[in-house]
Each structure stands twice: as C-alpha cells, then as structure tokens.
C-alpha cells in the first residue's frame, strides 16, 4: 500500500489575492495532475484551488482544468477539512510567496496552514510541497503529533517540504507531454523547477536512498538534487551571458558619448534600457541561492507512495 493506493486526497493550491493567476502557475498544476493520471489517480480524489479576486482571462489551460475538475476557492478549505473522508492528504502549493506566507484574503500564514492540517477531520498523515518563493517562512513549525490526556494521538503526521528557504524560488522553461482528456499534447511553460521535479518523480518514482521503498524522503532528495544540478548548469551559461551583456552596454555607452544624431541617440538609449533590464533579470537568477528543506524528516522516511 501507499499514498497512491490508499485513501489520499491530492490538493493543488494556487492563490494570488488580488492579482490574476499567472498562466505558468496554472500550467504547473496541469503538469502535476497529468503526472497523477499516469498513476491512475481518480479525478474525484483531486481538488484544485485557484483563488483570486481578479478575473481569469484568456487561459486555455484554466478552461481545460475547469472542464475536468471542480475549481475551488480558499473559502472552501474549511469545508474540505470538516467533511474530510480521506486518511491522507498531499498538498502542492504553486504561485508566489512572501513574508506573509501564501497570498490570499487574508493571507495563509504558517500557523493558519498548520491549524488547518491539524484539524482536518480524521486525517492520519499529510505531506505539503511548497514551491513558492520564501517557502522557508513555513519551516521551524510545531508539526509533531499531538496527544490528548489519555495519550491518544489527536493530530496527523505532518511533513512539510519547501523548494527554498528565505530566498526566491527559480523557474525555467520546460517542455512536456501532458494529458488533455484522453490525448497527449505538448506543453511548454516556465515551470517551477522544484515542483517540476517532484511531479516528475511521482510519475516515475526512484528509490534514492536504496531502502527498497518509494518514500516522501526520496521525492525530496530527488527534486532537490535535480533542481540544483539544473541551476548550476544554468548559472554557468548565464555567467557568460552577463559578461556579453555588460560588454554590449559599455559599447552602447561609448556610442552615446560620441553620437550627435538625436534620433539615433534615442534608439541607443532604448537599447541600453533593454540590455540593463536583461542584465538585472539574469543577475537575479545567477545570484539567487535555492536550497530545499524538509520539516519532520523521520516520518518522511516511512511514508510511502
């Protein structure tokens, strides 16, 4: 047995408060549910929460998800907890994050998320994968199982895994075949790297620690290692790009100092602005440190998929 075959509720959460959800974050969910389809997870065991006060426009992938799954809001989470009939819960969080936790109205702080997990009716164990920036806000929390006066366990085992600590979470372009109904279609998107490798591991589990089991700990180690391997390779490439962009900016500065034509000056100033923006964007990736973490690692070594 394991999470794939037991009574498990698979939840995908994308909350963005007052902003329209980004297409790439919706596509993270599409890839995730497609990977679950390969494990024959029934769609009635999958819940998608896409919450925003802004209207979602021009998203074909959102339309697809809505045609296949019921799309819930943050307001439905209490009802999900009160009416829970599952033994296990696996929660994937994509989108943005910050010092306030998960953006919503109100924000979902670490305490609120933990209380929701602890008070979900009948829940025995839960695993949370946080892909957003500053996921470390949810680290160092009291996730141990609570007991009543008679020593009976009254809260579930909780394992929380974060893509990064108190840093940005990096995304990159990926192309994968995903299920769209009965068909497989190609999807290219700017994927959350850590969640991408978590979903990839769910589709093709790998026993990282060699104990003969596919566990939550394996998924953490697999995704963390592959994410950082990808980042090292990307940063080497970006380093050379930064040198080339810097040299190009210096060349433009030399031209601006000698050019007299007003029209050409305007063009070169616009070109410099574009190069400077490109330099800042690539610098952000190059200097960002992403180190995944796991909270409550002991049960993670025994919770199997």
> pLDDT tens digits, residue range 180-229?
777 889 999 999 999 999 999 999 999 999 999 999 999 999 999 999 88
Q: Where are the domains of the chain?
A: 8-228+289-300, 234-287
Residue 276 has pLDDT above 90, yes or no: no
Residue 139 has pLDDT above 70, yes or no: yes
Q: Which one, of 14, 59, 61, 42, lies nearest residue 186 by Cα?
A: 61
- Rounded to an integer, the average pLDDT of 274-291 is 79
User: Which residue(s) pair with 187 in the sheet?
Assistant: 176
Domain 8-228+289-300 sits in CATH at 3.40.50.1460
Place 151 in a pLDDT band, splitting at 50, 70 and 90.
low
- Rounded to an integer, the average pLDDT of 234-246 is 81
Distances (CA, A) of 79 to 2, 120, 154, 173: 26, 9, 19, 36
Reading the block at residue 261, the tokens are 């034509």
The sign one gets for the Cα dihedral 199, 52, 80, 128 is positive
Residue 67 has pLDDT above 70, yes or no: yes
Least confident of 5-9, 59-63, 186-190, 193-197: 59-63
Q: How much of the chain, in percent, has pLDDT values that exceed 70?
A: 99
Give the separation between CA 200 and CA 291, rounded to whole angstroms: 19
* pTM for this entry: 0.88
**b (16+ CB within 10 A) / e for 220-259:** bbbbbebbbebbeebbeebeeebeebeeebeebeeeeeee
Give the separation between CA 175 and CA 148, rounded to whole angstroms: 49
Chain centroid to Cα 147, Å, comes to 32
Residue 90 has pLDDT above 80, yes or no: yes
Reading the block at residue 228, the tokens are 């950082």
The sign one gets for the Cα dihedral 162, 16, 203, 158 is positive
Give the separation between CA 275 and CA 21, rounded to whole angstroms: 28
Q: How much of the chain, in percent, has pLDDT values that exceed 90?
A: 59
Per-range mean pLDDT, top range of 16-20, 174-178, 260-264: 174-178
What would the 3-class secondary structure string for 130-194 be?
ECCCCHHHHCCCCCCCCECCCCCECCCEEEEEECCCCCCCCEEEEEEEEEECCEEEEEEEEEEHH
Give the separation between CA 252 and CA 267, rounded to whole angstroms: 10
* 72, containing H or E segment: strand 71-72
Give the separation between CA 266 and CA 273, rounded to whole angstroms: 11
Chain centroid to Cα 62, Å, comes to 17
Place 261 in a pLDDT band, splitting at 50, 70 and 90.
confident
Place 304 in a pLDDT band, splitting at 50, 70 and 90.
very high
Chain centroid to Cα 192, Å, comes to 5
Least confident of 110-114, 117-121, 272-276: 272-276
How high does pLDDT run on average in the chain?
90
């Amino acid at each position: 047995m394991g999470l794939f075959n037991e009574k498990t509720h698979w939840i995908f959460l994308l909350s963005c408060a007052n902003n329209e959800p980004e297409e790439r974050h919706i596509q993270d969910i599409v890839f995730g549910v497609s990977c679950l389809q390969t494990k024959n997870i029934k769609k009635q065991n999958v819940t998608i929460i896409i919450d925003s006060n802004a209207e979602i426009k021009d998203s074909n992938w959102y339309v697809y998800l809505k045609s296949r799954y019921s799309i819930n809001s943050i307001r439905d989470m209490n009802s999900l907890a009160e009416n829970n009939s599952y033994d296990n819960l696996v929660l994937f969080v994509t989108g943005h994050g910050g010092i306030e936790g998960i953006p919503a109205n109100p924000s979902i702080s670490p305490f609120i998320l933990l209380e929701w997990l602890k008070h979900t009716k009948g829940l025995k164990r839960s695993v949370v994968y946080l892909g957003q920036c500053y996921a470390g806000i949810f680290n160092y929390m009291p996730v141990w199982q609570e007991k009543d006066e008679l020593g009976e366990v009254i809260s579930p085992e909780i394992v929380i895994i974060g893509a990064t600590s108190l840093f940005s979470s990096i995304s990159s372009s990926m192309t994968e075949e995903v299920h769209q109904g009965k068909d497989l279609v190609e999807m290219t998107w700017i994927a959350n790297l850590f969640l991408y490798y978590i979903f990839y591991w769910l589709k093709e589990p790998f026993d990282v620690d060699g104990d003969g089991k596919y566990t939550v700990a394996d998924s953490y180690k697999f995704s963390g290692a592959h994410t950082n391997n990808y980042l090292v390779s990307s940063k080497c490439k970006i380093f050379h790009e930064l040198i080339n962009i810097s040299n190009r900016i210096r060349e433009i500065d030399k031209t601006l100092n000698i050019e007299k034509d007003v029209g050409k000056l305007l063009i070169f100033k616009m070109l410099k602005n574009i190069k400077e923006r490109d330099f800042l964007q690539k610098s952000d990736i190059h200097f960002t440190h992403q180190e995944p973490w796991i909270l409550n690692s002991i049960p993670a070594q025994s919770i199997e998929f």
